[in-house]
Amino acid sequence: MKKFLFTSLFSVSILFVKAQQEAQYTQWMWNHLSYNPALAGIQNCSKVKSMSRIQWVGFDGAPVSNLITFTAPIKTKRTQMFSPRQGFGIKFERDNIGPFTSNGLSFMYAIHFNFTQETRISFGVNLGAKQLTFSNRNITTIQADPATQKSSTFYSPIASFGTWWDGKNYFIGLSFDQLTASKWSGMGVESYYRLHYNLSSGFRYLVNENYTIVPNLLVKKTANSPISIDLNTFLDYKDAFKIGVGLRNNESFLGMFQVRFKEQFAFGYSVDFISSKINTVALLTHEFSLQYSTCEIKPTDKLSCPLF
C-alpha cells in the first residue's frame, strides 16, 4: 500500500487546488473536443476518440487521466446551402491524482454557421456532472490532521462554453471550462473549481500533394496559476502518418506520432521529457490515443483543414 507523508500530500493538494484542475493532454490537437465543445458534430461523420495519460512516471500520486469522446452531426433538413448545421457529443473523463479521484460525464451541443464553403464559425456548450472523491486510505501524516481523518465525496455540475472559427488552412478557438466554480463541499472552505480559459490556433502549410506541415498553439490560464503554453509542429503524410515535436513552457519537451490503419482507425503516442524541477524524481510522461472515424479519407490537396 502506498503511503503519502504530509509533505507529499500538501504538494499534491496544492497542485490540484491551485493549478490546472482540468487534465492536460499532449495530443490535444488530435482531439479538440477534449477542451472545446464547439467542435461537436463539425464534420458530417461520427468519431470516437480515447486518450490515456500517465504523468510523471515514477512519482507516487502523480496524475493519471483517461478520456473518451464521441461526436456526430444532428441530421436536419437544410433549406439553403449555407443553412446552420448542428452536432452533439458525449465526454467521459476520469482523473486520479494522489488521494483525489474525479469522474465526469457531460453532453455537448454545437451549432455551425458557414459563410462560404471554406469558412465557418461554431458555438458549443458542454453540460453534465462531476464526482470528486477524497480517500484517506493511503495517507499517513507526521502529525494528526483533521483534514485527512475521513474520506468524502461530492458532486458538482459541469458547464463549459466554446467558440471556433476555421478556414481551409487555419483555425482559432476559445473555450471556458468550470463556469460554475463549485465549492468542494466537505473538502475545505477554500477549495473550489476555478474558471479555465483555453485559446487555441493552428494552420496548415501544403508542401506538396503528399506532405503538409501543421503548427499548433494552445494557451491555458487558470485563476491563481501561471499561463501554460503548448506549442507543437507535426508533419502529416497523406493523413496516414503524422510525426511531430513540441514544448510546454517551463515544463517539458514533447515528441509524438500518429498512424492510421484500416482507414478508419488511428493510434497515437506521445512522450513528455520533463524539464522542470520535478525531473529529479520523474523524467517522462506517456500518453496514448485511439480513434475510430466514419469520415471518408480524401486526397490531401482536396482537404479542408485536416485538424478536425
- Residue 26 dihedral angles phi and psi, to the nearest 5°: -70, -35
Which is more confident, 3 or 294? 294
Which residue, chain included where needed, has cell 501543421? 214
For 140-195, write each residue's pLDDT tens digit: 666 666 666 677 888 889 999 999 999 989 999 999 998 887 777 666 656 778 88
Report the pLDDT averaged over residues 290-300: 79
Q: Looking at residue 64, what is its pLDDT?
A: 95
Ramachandran class of 98: left when φ > 0, alpha when ψ lies in -120 to 50, beta otherwise:
left
Q: Looking at residue 305, what is its pLDDT?
A: 46
Highest mean pLDDT among 19-23, 147-151, 156-160, 243-247: 243-247
Q: Looking at residue 306, what is its pLDDT?
A: 43
Q: Residue 192 has which C-alpha cell?
A: 473550489
Q: Looking at residue 149, what is its pLDDT?
A: 64
Comparing C-alpha atoms, which of 49, 7, 22 is closest to residue 293?
49
Does position 108 have pLDDT exceeding 60, yes or no?
A: yes
Report the pLDDT averaged over residues 201-216: 95
Sign of the four-CA dihedral 90, 200, 31, 264: positive
**Residue 296 DSSP symbol:** P
Q: Which domains does the chain have, with CATH numbers?
A: 6-302 (2.40.160.40)
Query: Who contacts 69 (Cβ-Cβ below 8 Å, separation ≥6)?
Result: 31, 33, 34, 47, 48, 49, 50, 89, 90, 91, 92
Half-sphere exposure of 220 (CA within 13 A, CB side): 24
Q: Confidence band (pLDDT; 50, 70, 90) for 299?
A: low
Does position 13 have pLDDT exceeding 50, yes or no?
A: no
